Amino acid sequence: MATPLLVFDLDGTLADTAGDLVAALNHILAREGLNGVALADARHMVGMGARSLISQGFAANGQTLDAARLEELFVDYLAWYEANIAVHTRLFPGVPEALDRFEAAGWRFAVCTNKAAHPSVKLLEALGVDARFAAICGQDTFAWSKPDARALLSTIGRAGGEPGATIMVGDSRTDIATAKNAGVPVVAVDFGYTDVPVSELSPDVVISHFDALWDAVARLSPTA
């Protein structure tokens, strides 16, 4: 029997990273002589990736960016972010306890994120949980990224799992689409970074706290 596997998204699912992501944006904006963006106004922006976040920050100042300039700013953004990666970031409540319970029951874990792999590993190291994941796969790990099913399927393979014994946990339209494309059940958390309520995106189960993950997975898998 295949070892059961939980594959998690990172930003907005395992960790509340918005404070540091927006701080990096505001560093770039201030350097360019522009107004910063309030965290409350930007939380919904961070789920679409750093390039989109930068573009939206400039748009909020009435400016547009061409592709070349955006890439220059992205490099600077990423460097500053990696140097300040866990100032405000914390695991969401209940994450360690949920991992403990599933691990005791024989489950394995992986991360499949559209964050680049290096900062993903660095962040999980800073949070003290990197060793708990059999694979940490980012946007640049494979030749494809979410919502392409191959990003998730390749992560499952790297973690030594099987799609039929895997459940995805995410917070966004992209995560839900990825899981559906791969034919993998998906649990959506409703406290992450999304432009629409995840309940409107037809995940298999929605939870509001990691304390509810065990029961959610039990509904989807006879292994739990």
- Angle (nearest 5°) at CA 68 between 19 and 87: 15
**Dihedral over Cα of 59, 64, 68, 69: its sign:** negative
Q: Which residues contact 186 (CB under 8 A, 6 or more apart)?
A: 167, 168, 169, 170, 175, 176, 179, 180, 203, 204
What's the rounded Cα separation, in Å, for the pair 54 and 70?
Answer: 8
Q: Is 100 assigned a catalytic role?
A: no
Cβ proximity of 55 and 70 under 8 Å: yes
- Following DSSP, what letter does each residue of 143-182 receive, concatenated? S--TTSHHHHHHHHHHTT--GGGEEEEESSHHHHHHHHHH
Q: Residue 188 carries which DSSP code?
A: E
The count of C-alpha atoms lying within 13 angstroms of the C-alpha of 157, restricted to the half-sphere facing its C-beta, is 9
CB burial class (10 A; 0-12, 13-18, 19+) of residue 79?
Answer: exposed
Closest CA relative to residue 169, chosen from 110, 94, 124: 110
Is-cis flag, bond preceding 147, omega within 30?
yes
Q: Which of 9, 16, 20, 204 is the catalytic position?
A: 9
Could you list the active site residues? 9
